[in-house]
Every structure is written in C-alpha cells, then in structure tokens.
Amino acid sequence: MTKRAEDKTSEMQPETVDSLGLIRLKKLAKIVRKETGCKLSEALEQVAKAHGFKSWNNVHRFASKRPNSSQILIEFEEIWRQNMFVEIKANNTTLFSQGGGSSYYELEHELRINLYRVAAVSFEPGYCDPISSRNTRSFWPDEKPGYEKCQRIVFSDLIEECLLEAHSIIFLDTGDYHRVKRAIDELTAGKANK
C-alpha cells in the first residue's frame, strides 16, 4: 500500500469490523486505486489483506456478523433515556404541585419523573405554611413565624406529549430531600456526559 493509504489505516481487524468499518475500508481501497492505478477489485483485496483478512469477501462475511456500532450507540442511548427516572416516594412529609401552581398537596402516590425530558431542575430552601382549611400548603422563600423549614425541587419545562409544564416538590423531611437530590445529581451527571 502507498504511504497515504497506510496513514489512513486503522486498528480494524476481523474481530472488530462492522458495516461502518466496511465503508471505511472501501474508501481506503479507492485511495489505493487512485494512487496505484490498479483496478478497484485489486485495491479491495490489498486493503483486506493489509487488515488481516484473507480476501475482500472475507471482510463482507465478518462485517455481516457484527452489528453496526452506530446502531449499538442508538440502542444504548434509548436504554439510557428509559432509565433516567427519579422516584419520589409518597408520604405525609412530601408535597406536590403541578403546572406551576402555588398550592401544594400531600403526595399520595409515588411519582416518577424522567429527567431526560426535564430542561432544568432547581433546588430552593424555604418555608412551608401550616395546613390550610383546604388541605393545601404554600412555599415561601423567606422565614415566617410558625412556618416549617423545607426544601423545594422544581422540574421546569417537563415535556410530556409536546406539552410544557412544571412539577414542584416540597420536602419537609431533609432525608427524603437529600436522597432525591443525590439521585438527580447522579443521573444528570450522566446526561451531561452524553
């Protein structure tokens, strides 16, 4: 092979070639053909042998047995998306508001939020008023006499079937808050690395 073609060689071996590798080897063979003036079939054979294959047909055989690496990445991405859920357990110290409303209700059922669909998450310390006659509570950023210290997590721009909304959770129990915050931090660290 020519010097230019050798510079474009890779670590591609029979055990690692897939359909994308097949395309790269074909491009390499075209460079060899152009530089040496040989037929494309001869260049394909040269490239195949230079990468540890017996023949160009052998390259096709190995490539057809291995899944396309980009397809594997797409499948991994889909699995990753499906597993970005943070679970918020229902109890009498966890309050919930949907759609940016100011009234918080006791969370009666476990809530699962897919962080892949969340644009932003904010963590806010604050205070929660006593239960009102309508069994609702409100969040206040400033300390008020008789109000209970709490932590709030707001999931903004939650995309669900093309609708934008926001979920807001108030935690009166700091242990629950830190468990959920740690889960969010771990999951979003993976999201940032994508």
pLDDT digits 0-9 by tens, 117-129: 777 888 999 999 9
Per-residue model confidence (pLDDT) at position 22:
77
Tell me the residue length of the chain: 194
Per-residue model confidence (pLDDT) at position 159:
56
Q: What is the mean pLDDT of residues 51-73?
A: 73
Every domain range in the chain assigned CATH 2.30.29 = 83-192
Report the topology of domain 83-192.
PH-domain like (2.30.29)
Per-residue model confidence (pLDDT) at position 58:
85
Please tell me the pTM assigned to this model: 0.55
User: Given pLDDT bands bounded at 50, 70 and 90, which one contains residue 76?
Assistant: low
Per-residue model confidence (pLDDT) at position 180:
92
Per-residue model confidence (pLDDT) at position 12:
53
pLDDT digits 0-9 by tens, 23-40: 788 888 888 898 889 999
Q: Which residues are CB-neighbours of 115 under 8 A, at least 6 positions away? A: 84, 85, 86, 121, 155, 184, 187, 188, 191
User: Given pLDDT bands bounded at 50, 70 and 90, which one contains residue 116?
Assistant: confident
Q: Is 144 helix (H, G, I), strand (E, B) or coil?
A: coil
